[in-house]
Amino acid sequence: MSFEQVVRIPVERVGAVIGKEGATKRFLEEEMGVKLSVDSKEGIVTVRAESAHKTDPFSATRVVEAIGRGFSPQRARRLLDEGTALELIDLRDYAGKSVNSLERIRGRIIGLKGKSRRVIEELTGCHLSVYGRTVAIIGDAVEVQLASDAVKSLATGSQHKTVYNTLQKARSKRKMERMFLWEGTSPENIEEKLQKLER
């Protein structure tokens, strides 16, 4: 059974999908056994595969989508790792139709000299791209959920300090969980130990 999916990306991101002398396009085609047709004028990338069983056209589609949303091909390639997710947040859901509100929210998420975005990336282990009217997040399911909550909190007006503290606590909790798992503590006892530490 053959596979074909169309991905629409901003025209100005077409060059990033193709790469220097076609390097990125070639890599994706070889790595995932797909064929990419790129319409540079319309910003349409068609992902084709002879069979979805022996190839990975779904990952190829997600990688193209991620590059289209502002990620470098190197960062987008993380989507080829098992268990890695891509989430898109449309900032118009928070800004409405106001261009000024959209810019203000984008500014809050990026932060001064990119500080806010950098802190969210460091505390969650995710990659973040604020591009146009969207925020795209790449990471494992738990990381993506944390980063997504942080972005949505900032978009609705939460203070940066509050958002960072929440992420810091979640990061510490995850570290402790990993440590207890390493020691062979059962999942039931992990929650009990974490509660004791929080008291």
Q: In the chain, where are the structural domains located?
A: 3-80, 84-180
Look at the chain and count its residues.
199
Give the pLDDT confidence score for residue 124 in this predicted structure: 94
Which two three-digit tokens encode residue 50?
């002879």
List of residues 6+ apart from 172 with CB closer than 8 A: none
Question: Which superfamily, per CATH, for 84-180?
Answer: K Homology domain, type 1 (3.30.1370.10)
CB atoms within 10 A of CB 39: 13
Give the pLDDT confidence score for residue 193 in this predicted structure: 55
Q: Is residue 97 within 8 Å of 146, Cβ to Cβ?
A: no
Question: Which superfamily, per CATH, for 3-80?
Answer: K Homology domain, type 1 (3.30.1370.10)
Range scoring the smallest mean pLDDT among 41-45, 94-98, 122-126, 172-176? 172-176
DSSP structure class, residue 113: G
Topology match between the domains 3-80 and 84-180: yes
60 exposure class (CB count in 10 Å sphere: 0-12, 13-18, 19+): buried
Query: For 20-30, what is the mean pLDDT?
Result: 91
